[in-house]
Amino acid sequence: MAEIKLQNVVKKYGQLEVVHGIGLDIAHNEFVVLVGPSGCGKSTTLRMIAGLEEISDGTISIGPQVVNELPPRKRNISMVFQNYALYPHMSVRENLGFGLKIAKQPEAVVADRVREAAEILGLEELLERTPAELSGGQRQRVAMGRAIVRHPEAFLFDEPLSNLDAKLRVQMRTEIKKLHQRVKTTVVYVTHDQVEAMTLADRIVVMKDGWIEQVGTPMEVFNHPLNTFVASFIGSPPMNLIDAQITGDKIRLSDGTHLPVPERLENHVREGQEVVFGLRPDDLTPQGHGIAENGHRASVELTVELAELLGTETILYTRINGSEVLGKMFDPRDVSPGERMTFNISLDKVHLFDAQTQKSVRLG
């Protein structure tokens, strides 16, 4: 168990730079999730930590040791792969014990650790089967068991749930969370699914195009996105982003609607500034259908184009000056397309980003 440090890590394939000097400190026993769209460099980063990819520049250290030059087998880490990567010609028992056998552990120790891992993951009944005889979820559990038995410094997960069906994915997500609580270890987990990131992480690292966009706890990243990318990537449905301008103490949206600048942001904007107005669908609710209808509010009249029923809530599709804007209706009633409704905007939850830099105005 150890902390992992990335300093100015660069990855180049020939002339093409895919990771541009990122830095990240992962604390002892912390569960860190790297999240981002495909091609953002998150898997490459994980593979560099594992030693499966060489790093072009910078340093990576695990615990006190710089591991730049160490092959994967000397880094004492475990990895769970997207395709499980079980050894097809070995039984579950052999799969679990393989790493220990290679490390020349005495047979009694191997048997002990395998039994322990099988118990944690509920694999006792399956030990004599081959991977071909297991279901997807069982294979994933074996892959995790193989990671546990070696008592590594850190677990690395590379999109471990993306090959499972939706129901199983939710179930395994919970199991991974429980596993981390049982087996306290540093975890680096890669996913493109922001829900997985939110539910699992102690800290989320949002990546895009080889850069780290934001590092923070799930709540920080959700409530205080540093830029429009993080704002639209984290949260489902994504945050509405509308072009706007500051005029006096008002925000003028592109359709001419005027909203007051929230007090907490007053000092961060200047007259005439082009901004992007951000509002989560949860904070744009029809009158009488919000969660907590107190605090500073403003209201707008909007035409509902489409209503998407989800049971406890309904997603309402409307439009502001041509761009689609989503609202949420809690405790829903039937809504017919074309209906004009008055929506409340929770001004406390409004986000403002500079139109030029796409960064939160709070930074400027």
Partner 1 sequence: MAKIEKRLPFWQRESFTPFVLLFPAILTLVLVVLLPLLFSLYTSFTGYRLIRPDSLYNFVGFRNYERIFTDWDFWVAFGRTVLFLTIALNLEFLFGLGIALLINRITWGQRTLRTIMMFPMMFSPILVGYQFKFIFNDNIGVLNNALQSLGLSDGAIPWLVDKHLAMGSIIVAEVWMSTSIFAILLLAGLFAMPRDPLEAAKVDGCNPWQVFRHITLPFLMPFAFIAMTIRSLDVARAYDIVDVMTGGGPAGRTELLWTLIARVGYDNSRMGQANAMAYVSILLSIAFTYYFFRKLIAARRYMGGAN
Q: Which residues bind partner 1 (CB under 8 A)?
A: 50-52, 71-73, 77-79, 81-90, 98-99, 102-103, 130-134, 139, 146, 150, 156
The Cα angle at residue 29 between residues 23 and 33, in degrees rounded to 5: 50
Distance (Å, rounded) from C-alpha 85 to C-alpha 52? 14
Distance (Å, rounded) from C-alpha 214 to C-alpha 277? 19
Choice between 10 and 52, CB closer to partner 1: 52
Bridge partner list, 35? 191, 206
Backbone angles phi, psi at 131, to 5 degrees: -55, -35
CB of 158 to partner 1, least distance (A): 9
Choice between 145 and 218, CB closer to partner 1: 145
Strand-pair category, 258-260 with 274-279: unpaired
Choice between 71 and 338, CB closer to partner 1: 71
Q: In terms of Cα–Cα distance, which of 233, 245, 297, 285 is closest to 269?
A: 245
Choice between 50 and 241, CB closer to partner 1: 50
Distance (Å, rounded) from C-alpha 108 to C-alpha 323? 65
Choice between 50 and 207, CB closer to partner 1: 50
Choice between 154 and 176, CB closer to partner 1: 154
Choice between 65 and 245, CB closer to partner 1: 65
CB of 73 to partner 1, least distance (A): 4
CB of 84 to partner 1, least distance (A): 8
Axis-axis angle for helices 107-121, 136-148 (nearest 10)? 130
CB of 210 to partner 1, least distance (A): 22
Structure tokens at 315: 């997603």
Choice between 131 and 216, CB closer to partner 1: 131
Q: Is 360 helix (H, G, I), strand (E, B) or coil?
A: strand
Backbone angles phi, psi at 215, to 5 degrees: -125, 130
CB of 145 to partner 1, least distance (A): 12
Number of helical (H) and strand (E) elements in the chain, helices listed first: 8, 21
CB of 128 to partner 1, least distance (A): 12
* Chain centre to alpha carbon of residue 116: 30
CB of 77 to partner 1, least distance (A): 7
Q: In terms of Cα–Cα distance, which of 170, 167, 174, 162 is closest to 35?
A: 162
CB of 82 to partner 1, least distance (A): 8
Instruction: Check: CB of residue 177 under 8 Å from CB of residue 210.
Output: no
